[in-house]
Amino acid sequence: MKLSLNWLKDYLDIKKTPEELVDVLNLLGHEVESIEKAGDDFILDLEITPNRGDCLSVLGIARELSAALNLKLKTKKLETLFKTEDLNKPLNIEVSSPAICLRFTARVIDDIEIAPSSLEIQQRLISYGFRPINNIVDITNYVMIETGQPLHAFDYNKIETVVGKKLMRLRQARAGEKVITLDGKNRLLNEGAIIIEDNKKIYDLAGIMGGLNSEIDQKTKTIILQGAIFDPILIRKTSKYLNLVTDASYRYERGVDINGTIYAVNLATSFILNSCKQAKAGHLIDKTFKQIASTKIFYNIADINKLLGTDISINQAEEFLRCLNFEVGNEMRENIVRTYAIPPSYRAYDVKIWQDLAEEIARIKGYNHLRKQDWPKQKAKRLNSQYALSEYIKDILVASGYTEVYSYSFSDEKTLKTLGLFSDKIVEVEKPLSPETRYLRPDLLPSLLAQIAKNPWAKEIKIFEIGDCFLGKKEFKQIVIAQTSGSCKEMEELVKTIKENLKVSEINYEVFKIPKQILSQMKIRKDVFFLRMDFDILVQQLNNFNYQPSCTLKKVQFRPISKFAPTVKDLAFVVGRKIQPQDIAKEIKSTDDKVKLVELFDEFISDKFGQTKKSLAFHIWLEDMERPLVEKEMRKILKKITRHLSKKFNAVLRGEVV
């Protein structure tokens, strides 16, 4: 919600700088997403959480700041600003059930004149994000932003007169009924939507958007200004059904102050009288059909302290609650003095239990002033076998040269069909944002092949994933391993290694080579050998498996990835046998920032290099962040690398492996 600081100052004498105010609001739980200077004003963008409908207004935020900063709230005394008279323009308000409209406050205003609204009103509406329309519409919007109470103005003369009175019948729509809303759309209503009608037509989609047939237009002379309280759940249902969220429906869903209607209608009246010099205000109409009373919440300060871990005194707690306009007190109940708090009417929706009071007390005290309690370390419990097992297998695979990938849990129709995995048991997403997220993967095979396809430049790929698959009602884990070199036999060996390490007799697995025609459909130009294991069966066999994986992270200076393809060059060097490969790799990487990765792929000790020598071969991944690299540049980098290694490690280039 956009909030103008100058507007806020109508209600509070704020001395703080805008930046300080941002902090105060954040620490109250009203997150400020941005702050922008606009002329002599600052516009804050606030994220108001869904429980705090009362804060969707200038007044609401002013109340919060008044509590936090101990400032007096300057609400306007409105009754004295204008006088009302008998216009002899009566309304007949009928409500089919008190549950749909809890309160209906309205006033007829006669002899109005449609014109643009004042510049200040227009400016403030724009700062909130509204387009100015005319004085009447603008004022209803303006007052909604200021007070949080949605208002609506009807053209009095467009409503049918029945037995001498304008008929406003509020009821719930029957399925199939329609209304054309102010935006010109013909809305097919859900059963239960709240509408206002006369005997001839539905003319309002109450609490969401007005009807076109009762709209204020250039010729409007008389209006009905309405500020009502509608049932939040019914508004929400209709808003969802029609996929129509308005500033009014947004507030109604979150709860509008049942005691705020009169202030809002009066405030709007005074603005309208100010804008239309001839206008005459009728008497206030105010009907309460159903009262929502705030809960009297009994609490025990000891419980609150036990929950918060604090030692706040009852006096302090009551003071914090009073700042927030809670009524506090105590009474005798069954011979015990019980303390209670009653939230103000605008908090009736979200403060209901003593734990809610605890939060209010903590908010005013300040969360950052709460006590902290250290957690002593204690002897670790053994890991549950499923997690321990997956981490253990990951460590075995990494030690065997495989790199772990995380891929999406989704797949698309084409891939599933190519791989023969498509069936009526595949779980389908209801409203996918793209074809790629339409199905949940029934197998990790498509995931791994997609990952291989993304690395066409890699010389050899050895990857694995442990992840969940979905088929029918079943969710199960697989371990899958893929490599682009070697053989099926090599993968069988890997299964044997895993079996030996885990000391299990049986593993449910499959090893196969992916057929060429499938690979070409997935744009993979390498052989792919594939190993798939059922994880859940392993867990069942090893339900007492214990393992503590290492928790130390690698020290990595991460280098961002270019959007241009890398080139992988291989170099082999003859160096002294005592030289550590990682030292050479580090040196190569530091030669040029176009070197993204250096991987040792061969370490070969042979007397043919000399009795104290060995050969080390590296994959060197080269790329530039801004453009594709050309061969000439790469040559230069490779030469530089050779020079550096020769100087530092006495390394001799054995050759480039092309």
Partner 1 sequence: MNGHLHPLTQFLRLSLGYFIKRGFEVLEGPELETEWYNFDALNVPATHPSRDVQDTFWTKDGRLLRTHTTATDIRLIKENNLKPPLRLIIPGRCFRNEATDQIHEHTFYQIDGIAIDAHLSMAHLIGLLEGYIKEIFGSQVKIRLRPHFYPFVEPGMDMDVWVPETQNAISKLTAPALAKSKGRWEEVIGAGMAHPVVLKNAGLDPNKWQGIMWGMGVDRLMMQYFKINDIRLSYSGDLRFLKQF
In the window 348-387, what residues touch partner 1 (CB under 8 A)?
353, 355-356, 358-359, 362-363, 367-368, 370-378, 380-381, 383-384, 386-387
Q: How far is the CB of 4 from partner 1 (least distance, A)?
A: 23
Helices in 112-231 by DSSP H: which ranges? Answer: 119-128, 135-147
Q: Burial level of 368, CB count in 10 A (0-12/13-18/19+)?
A: exposed
Contact 388, 546 (CB under 8 A): yes
Pick the binder of partner 1 from 297, 463, 574, 651 (CB under 8 A): 463
Distance of alpha carbon 637 from alpha carbon 191, whole angstroms = 72
316 binds partner 1 (CB under 8 A): no
> What x/- string results for residues 418 through 457 when contact with partner 1 is judged by CB under 8 A?
---------xxxxxxx---x--x---------xxx-xx--
Residues 25-64 that bind partner 1 (CB under 8 A): 26-29, 31, 49-52
3-class DSSP state of 223 = strand
- Is 334 or 430 the residue whose CB approaches partner 1 more closely? 430
Binding segment (CB under 8 A) for partner 1, from list 119-127, 143-151, 191-199, 400-408: 400-408
Tell which residue, 483, 489, 447, has the closest CA to residue 465: 447
To partner 1, the closest distance from the beta carbon of 287 in angstroms equals 25
Nearest to partner 1 of 295, 409 (CB atom): 409
Near partner 1 in 565-604, by CB under 8 A: 566, 596-597, 599-601
Closer residue to partner 1, CB minimum distance, 114 or 481: 481
Judged by beta carbon, residue 359 or residue 587, the one nearer partner 1 is 359
We find the least distance from the C-beta atom of residue 615 to partner 1, in angstroms, to be: 15
Q: Which residues share a beta bridge with 35?
A: 44
| Segment 246 to 285, residues that bind partner 1, using CB under 8 A | 253-254
The amino acid sitting at 486 is G
**How near is the Cβ of 67 to partner 1 at its closest, in Å?**
13
Q: Which of residues 549-568 bind partner 1 (CB under 8 A)?
A: 549-554, 556, 558-562, 566
Which of left, alpha, beta for 370 (phi over 0: left; psi -120 to 50: alpha)?
A: beta
For partner 1, the closer of residues 428 and 493 by Cβ is 428
Q: Which stretch binds partner 1 (CB under 8 A): 161-169, 289-297, 543-551, 608-616?
A: 543-551
Nearer to partner 1, 168 or 482 (CB): 482
Query: Applying CB under 8 A, which of residues 69, 78, 188, 307 lies at the interface with partner 1?
Result: 307
SS3 228: strand
Binding segment (CB under 8 A) for partner 1, from list 401-409, 415-423, 606-614, 628-636: 401-409
CA 464 to CA 539: how far, in whole Å?
Answer: 18
CB of 107 to partner 1, least distance (A): 30
Q: What's the DSSP call for residue 651? A: -
Q: Which of 44, 137, 145, 397 binds partner 1 (CB under 8 A)?
A: 397
Pick 76 or 559: Cβ nearer partner 1: 559
Choices 132-140, 200-208, 300-308, 313-321; region in contact with partner 1 by CB under 8 A:
300-308
Shortest distance in whole angstroms from residue 331 CB to partner 1: 21
User: Judged by CB, which is closer to partner 1: 155, or 253?
Assistant: 253
Complex with partner 1: residue 365 or 499, whichever CB lies closer: 365
Q: How far apart are CA 146 and CA 266, in angstroms?
A: 13
Q: How many CA atoms lie within 13 A of 278 on its CB side?
A: 8
468-487 positions binding partner 1, by CB under 8 A: 468, 470, 475
Place of tokens 């920032």: 593
Three-state DSSP at 289 gives coil
Task: Kindly give, in sequence order, each residue whose CB lies less than 8 Å from that of residue 45, ignoring residues fewer than 6 positions away.
Answer: 1, 2, 3, 32, 33, 34, 35, 36
For 638, counting Cβ atoms within 10 Å of its Cβ (0-12 exposed, 13-18 middle, 19+ buried), the class is buried
C-beta neighbour count of 149 within 10 angstroms: 26
Cross-strand pairs, 604:
615
Q: Provide, rounded to whole angstroms, the least separation between the CB of residue 206 and partner 1.
A: 18
Min CB(363)–partner 1 separation in Å: 5
CA–CA gap between residue 24 and residue 50 (Å, rounded): 20
Residue 86 or 430 with smaller CB distance to partner 1? 430
Closest distance between partner 1 and the C-beta of residue 634, in Å? 16
- CB 358, CB 304: distance < 8 Å: yes
Site for partner 1, residues 187 to 216, rule: CB under 8 A: none
Cα–Cα distances in angstroms (integers) from residue 625 to residues 456, 595, 628, in the given order: 18, 11, 8
Q: Give the alpha-carbon dihedral of 418, 420, 422, 423, to 10 degrees.
A: 160
Q: Which of 167, 276, 308, 575 binds partner 1 (CB under 8 A)?
A: 308
Given a contact cutoff of 8 angstroms between Cβ atoms, the answer to whether 114 and 220 are in contact is yes
Q: Which is nearer to partner 1, 7 or 340 (CB)?
A: 340
Please select the residue that binds partner 1; options are 9, 89, 287, 394, rule is CB under 8 A: 394
Give the interface size with partner 1 as a residue count (CB under 8 A). 102
* Number of Cβ atoms within 10 Å of the Cβ of 129: 12
The one segment of 73-81, 100-108, 394-402, 626-634 that binds partner 1 by CB under 8 A = 394-402
- 7 or 439: whose CB is closer to partner 1? 439
Termini Cα distance of the chain: 60
Nearer to partner 1, 552 or 611 (CB): 552
Whole-number minimum distance, CB 14 to partner 1, in Å? 20
CB nearer to partner 1: pick between 29 and 98: 29
- Restricting to residues 97-126, which ones interact with partner 1 according to CB under 8 A? none
Q: Which of 319/391 has CB closer to partner 1?
A: 391
Among 411, 413, 402, which Cα is nearest to 446's? Answer: 411
Query: What phi, psi does 237 have (nearest 5°)?
Result: -60, -45
- Contact in structure between 626 and 466 (CB atoms under 8 Å): no
Closer residue to partner 1 (CB): 27 or 162: 27
- Asked if 143 contacts 168 with a C-beta cutoff of 8 angstroms, the reply is no
Reported as type and span, the H/E element at residue 482 is strand 474-483
Kindly indicate which of the ranges 222-230, 512-520, 528-536, 545-553 contains the residues binding partner 1, using the contact rule CB under 8 A: 545-553
Is the Cβ–Cβ distance between 554 and 386 less than 8 Å? Answer: no
Beta bridge partners of 42: 37
